[in-house]
Amino acid sequence: MDLPLVYHPNYVAPIANTHRFPMEKFRLLYEMLIADGVARSEQFYRPELPDLEVIASVHDRQYVEAYWQGTLEHKAQRRIGLPWTRELAYRTRIAVGGSLLTARLALQHGLACNTAGGTHHAFPSYGSGFCIFNDLAIASRVLLNEGLVKKILIVDLDVHQGDGTALIFQDEAKVFTFSMHCQINFPLVKQISDRDVPLPEGMEDDAYLQTLANHLPDLLTEFKPDLVLYDAGVDPHISDRLGKLALTDAGLYRRDMQVLSTCVSQGFPVASVIGGGYCEDMRSLVYRHSLLHRAASEVYRHYRL
């Protein structure tokens, strides 16, 4: 059995491209994983479109319906940062299904990866920072409601604090939110995660990885989650235009290997999403996102999951 991967078929078509958030990276990521021999087409699972009820388990129903129908007011769309289109609304909704499927596959196989996901700036009643519906929060809520898990640890290593996720679960003892992010970066007003680790501008590979090692093993031992949701944003990269940290490609790969091997070696299943990344050189950006899948493939084989 190979590493389970989740792919979104509608990413094949170029949809809702913007200068700041080009959607074609999802299609290019899939193509790179195949071309480089990281994965075979048979490894990919395609998600189903989730009911709006599923999304409304976390988000305000009025907001969910307004976004889906295209009636969200212009100010709210501006806060999201992406112009509404029917294709983007569909992609947003099926992306939630993708992260939920990834979480289910991780529970079955010990490790699974999405080729999208990580919309952690979405709040219950509004979107923010290119995030419309919070896929990590929705997947967590569904699995808890179904009784498939009792405790979830969200490890958010995107360079920006997972503020929406932190607020959604601020009073939920069954979900532990851990965010390691650049202190001076977006969002200006931070929420309170169960554990926040603010990092100084310009932090490099070794210092970053040591900081991570100072927290993750203890969190796993103390919280003992039934599932880890890992947001592997690549915007901590030194060349990321919205990042402000200084990780290299090698540093990102080491980070992903560190997270996945630390969790899997102790028997904690991991569902991973790609998170954020912003770079003018699209091939370089897609390669950075692929590092998660390269690391996961190695870990999956090493531990014979």
Provide the 10 A C-beta neighbour count for residue 183.
14
Question: Is 121 a residue of the active site?
Answer: yes
3-state secondary structure of 154: strand
Instruction: Output the CA angle 287-292-296, nearest 5 degrees.
Output: 135
What span, in angstroms and rounded, lies between the C-alpha atoms of 135 and 133? 6
Distance between CA atoms of residues 228 and 58, nearest Å? 19
Half-sphere exposure of 279 (CA within 13 A, CB side): 21
Catalytic residue of the set 121, 181, 289, 293: 121
Tokens 């490099």 belong to which residue?
Answer: 204
Other Cβ atoms closer than 10 A to 48:
10
Instruction: Give the count of beta carbons closer than 10 Å to the beta carbon of residue 146.
Output: 9
Distance CA 178, CA 228 (A): 11
The enclosing H or E element of 141 equals helix 135-145
Radius of gyration of the chain measured on its C-alpha atoms: 17
Token reading at 92: 């947003």
Task: Give the integer Cα–Cα distance in Å for 62 and 223.
Answer: 35
- Residue 288: C-alpha distances to residues 79, 179, 193, 234 (Å): 27, 20, 26, 6
User: Annotated catalytic sites, by residue?
Assistant: 121
